[in-house]
């Protein structure tokens, strides 16, 4: 998405690595650029060695306070279709650790489960284990935020087709 929106001429992608592995490669000069699901590890390990060019807030408007002037990737969109593609990326990133309930689940049960999940994410032991395993701080979204993102998921066929082209790992389509 960043390569497309920033119009990189010949981007090459290496996929399948987590944030700590990419940090090592970045420090060793093996990467020219990278994305991160969470910038905590980038700030911690790389500090001022990194130049940030754009971000994608997820959900939209949830910016990291350490980068107040950094443009969101959707500001590079040339038209509504491109903005919807960014929205689609945001929506796909939100429920990466989904906990779904069947339609018609009683609201009181939904409330109990949402409160339990929120309590889990606040637990210091969970946070410590998460950071150890993932190399970054957890940044969970509320059930309401996930529900809203899924409800607002772009469903336009043309947008979905372009998103698939961007996600397939081949050459980037022209803008």
Q: Evaluate whether residue 59 is within a structural domain.
A: yes
pTM as predicted: 0.65
Sign of torsion over alpha carbons 121, 125, 128, 132: negative
Residue among 39, 42, 79, 41 at smallest CA distance from 56 = 39
Residue 62, pLDDT > 70, answer no
Q: What residue has token string 């990133």?
A: 93
* Structural domain contains residue 51: yes
Residue 59 has what pLDDT? Answer: 66
Question: Is residue 109 in some structural domain?
Answer: yes
Q: Are 16 and 34 in contact (CB under 8 A)?
A: no
C-alpha separations of 17 from 62, 86, 109, 117, 152 in Å: 25, 22, 37, 27, 29
Q: What is the pLDDT of residue 26?
A: 75
pLDDT in tens, 70-110: 788 889 999 999 999 998 888 777 656 667 788 899 999 99
Higher-scoring residue by pLDDT: 113, 32: 113
Q: Flag whether 125 is in a domain.
A: yes
pLDDT in tens, 20-57: 787 788 778 787 676 665 566 566 666 666 677 777 77
Residue reference for tokens 């970054």: 136
pLDDT tens profile 129-156:
988 887 777 878 788 887 887 788 888 9
Give a yes or no: residue 103 inside a domain: yes
Neighbours of 86 (CB within 10 A): 23
Nearest to 4 by CA among 135, 170, 121: 170
**Total count of domains within the chain:** 1
Q: Classify residue 172: in a domain, yes or no.
A: no
Q: Is residue 32 part of a domain?
A: yes
The residue written with tokens 């690595």 in the block is 17
Domain residue limits at 42 = 2-167
Residue 173 counted as domain residue: no
């Amino acid at each position: 998405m960043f390569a497309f929106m920033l119009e990189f001429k010949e981007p090459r992608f290496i996929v399948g690595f987590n944030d700590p592995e990419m940090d090592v490669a970045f420090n060793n000069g093996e990467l020219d650029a990278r994305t991160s699901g969470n910038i905590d590890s980038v700030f911690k390990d790389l500090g001022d060695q990194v130049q940030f060019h754009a971000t994608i807030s997820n959900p939209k408007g949830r910016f990291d306070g350490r980068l107040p002037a950094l443009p969101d990737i959707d500001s590079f969109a040339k038209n509504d279709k491109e903005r919807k593609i960014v929205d689609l990326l945001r929506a796909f990133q939100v429920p990466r650790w989904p906990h779904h309930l069947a339609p018609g689940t009683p609201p009181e049960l939904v409330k109990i489960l949402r409160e339990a999940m929120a309590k889990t994410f606040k637990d210091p032991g969970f946070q410590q284990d998460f950071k150890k395993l993932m190399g970054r701080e957890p940044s969970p979204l509320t059930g309401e935020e996930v529900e809203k993102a899924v409800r607002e998921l772009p469903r336009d066929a043309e947008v979905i087709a372009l998103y698939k082209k961007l996600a397939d790992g081949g050459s980037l389509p022209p803008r």
